[in-house]
Amino acid sequence: MTKVLMVLTSHDQLGDTGRKTGFWLEELAAPYYRFRDAGWDVTLASPEGGRPPLDPKSNEPDFQTDQTRRFGADAEAERQLDNTLRLDSVSVGDFDTVFYPGGHGPLWDLAEDENSIKLIEQFVTAGKPTALVCHAPGALRHCVTPDGQPLVAGKRVTGFTDSEEEYMGLTKVVPFLVEDELIAKGAQFSKAGNFEPHVVTDGLLVTGQNPASSGPAADELISLVGRTAG
C-alpha cells in the first residue's frame, strides 16, 4: 500500500490583521479523498502536532465542495485531523510520497520550519514524488539540492500567483509572494488565470496553483507514484 504524508500548517494568524488563517479545507479534503479512494494510507502531520488551524474562510458556504462536506461528515478523517503527528517525529523512510496543502498559514511556518525544509529536501533526494499546492510551494523557498543550489532553480513550477494574492487584498499582509519568491530562486514559473486549475510537473516535483488545482495535483501525484513504482 502506498503511504502518503500530508503536511499541514500550524500557523493561525493572518499577519497583523487580527484575522485567522490556517490550512485551506478544499486543499486537504480533495487530495485526501483522491488518496483514500486510490487505496493509499494517509498520514497527517504539522509542525506542532494535534489539530491544525483551519482557515475559517475556507469553510464558508461559497468555498464548500462535495469533498469538504464529505470530510466534515467523516469521523475517521476528523479523528486524523485531531491527531496530526509532530513534524519533527516524522521519518521520510516511512512514506512513499508527500503532499503539502496550502492556505496562507504555510507562508509563516512551513516556509521557515527547519523540519519541513529538511523533510522536502530528503523526499526529493530520495527520489520520492513531492507535491505542493497553492501557497504551499512557498515552503520550497529555503530548500536546496545536495550541492547547495536552490531546489527550484531551473525547475518548472507554479503556485498562488501575485494577481490572485492581489485579488484577495493580501499582497501587503503576507510575508512574501509565492510567485515572486519562486522566480527569485530561479524557477520557471507558469500560471493560468486567477483561480483556474493549473498543475505543473517537473521530474518528481508537482505543484498546483490554487485550491481548484489541489484535486488535479493529487491525481498527478497518484499517476507519478504509479509510474515511478513501475
pLDDT digits (tens, 9 = 90+) for 143-197: 999 999 999 999 999 999 999 999 999 999 999 999 999 999 999 999 999 999 9
Q: Residue 230 has what pLDDT? A: 64
The DSSP code sequence of 109-178 is TTTT-HHHHHHHHHHHHTT--EEEETTGGGGGTT-B-TTSSBTTTT-EE--S-HHHHHHHT-TTTSSS-H
Count how many domains the chain has.
1
Residue 209: closest CA among 195, 220, 221: 195
How much of the chain exceeds pLDDT 70, in percent? Answer: 100
What CATH code is carried by the domain that includes residue 176?
3.40.50.880
Calculate the average pLDDT of the chain.
97
pLDDT at 22 over 80: yes
How much of the chain exceeds pLDDT 90, in percent? Answer: 99
Q: Residue 129 has what pLDDT? A: 98
118 vs 122: CA distance, rounded Å: 6
Q: Residue 228 has what pLDDT? A: 87
pLDDT at 102 over 90: yes
Cell of 12: 493561525
Structural domain range at position 174: 3-229
pTM given for the model = 0.98
pLDDT digits (tens, 9 = 90+) for 27-61: 999 999 999 999 999 999 999 999 999 999 999 99
117 vs 141: CA distance, rounded Å: 9
27 vs 15: CA distance, rounded Å: 21
* Mean pLDDT to the nearest integer, 225-229: 89
* Mean pLDDT to the nearest integer, 81-97: 98
pLDDT digits (tens, 9 = 90+) for 75-87: 999 999 999 999 9
